[in-house]
Amino acid sequence: MTDKTKTLRVDYLARVEGEGALYIRYDDTAVHEVKLKIFEPPRFFEAFLQGRDYTEAPDITARICGICPVAYQMSAVHAMEQALGIAVDPAIEQLRRLLYCGEWIESHVLHMAMLHAPDFLHLDSAVEMASVHPQVVQQALALKKAGNAIVRVLGGREIHPINVRVGGFYKLPSRQELSELRASLDDALEQAVALTRWVATLTIPDFDRQQHPYLFVALHDEHEYPMNSGRLVSSEGLNIEACDFENHFIEQQVAHSNALHCLLDGKRPYFVGPMARFNLNFETLSPTAKQLAAEIQVTPPYVNPFGSILIRALEVVHAVETAMMVLDFFSKQGVSCSKQEASCSKQEASFRHNTQTGSSYQQPTVRAGSGYAITEAPRGILYHGYRIGDDGKIVTAKIIPPTSQNQKTIEDDLRLMLPALMQLSEDELRHRCEQAIRNYDPCISCATHFLKLTLEKGAEQQ
Instruction: Check the annotation: does 46 bind a ligand.
Output: yes
CA dihedral 279, 121, 409, 275 (to 10 degrees): -10
298-325 burial by CB neighbour count: b if 16+ within 10 A, else e?
beeebbbbbbbbbbbbbbbbbbbbbbbb
Q: What is the CA radius of gyration of the chain?
A: 22
pLDDT value at position 335?
29
pLDDT value at position 451?
42
The partner residues of 257 in beta bridges, in order of sequence, read 38
For each of the chain's 462 residues, which pLDDT tens digit applies? 455 788 888 876 777 777 888 888 888 778 888 988 887 777 788 888 999 999 999 999 998 887 889 999 999 999 999 999 999 989 999 999 999 999 999 999 999 999 999 999 999 888 999 999 999 999 999 999 999 999 999 999 998 999 999 999 999 998 899 999 999 999 999 999 999 999 999 999 999 888 899 999 999 999 999 999 999 999 999 999 999 999 999 999 888 888 889 999 999 999 999 999 999 999 999 999 999 999 999 999 999 999 999 999 999 999 999 999 999 988 763 223 334 333 444 444 444 444 444 468 888 899 999 999 999 999 999 999 999 999 999 999 999 999 999 999 999 999 999 888 888 888 898 899 999 999 999 887 777 765 444 334 344 433
Q: What backbone torsions phi and psi does residue 164 show, to the nearest 5 degrees? A: -85, 135
pLDDT value at position 342?
34
Instruction: Check the annotation: does 374 bind a ligand.
Output: no
pLDDT value at position 453?
40
- Nearest-CA neighbor of 330 among 163, 170, 156, 92? 92
Instruction: Check the annotation: does 446 bind a ligand.
Output: yes
Instruction: Check the annotation: does 443 bind a ligand.
Output: yes
pLDDT value at position 198?
97
Strands (E), 38-137: none
Instruction: Check the annotation: does 433 bind a ligand.
Output: no
Transcribe 167-210 into DSSP letters: TEESSPPPHHHHHHHHHHHHHHHHHHHHHHHHHTTSPPPP---T
Distances (CA, A) of 403 to 24, 60, 63, 116, 175: 20, 19, 17, 16, 37
pLDDT value at position 346?
44
pLDDT value at position 341?
38
pLDDT value at position 169?
95
- Nearest-CA neighbor of 74 among 444, 353, 339, 401? 401
145-169 burial by CB neighbour count: b if 16+ within 10 A, else e?
bbbbbbbbbbbbebebbbbbbbbbb
pLDDT value at position 424?
85
Class of the CATH-defined domain 46-420: mainly alpha
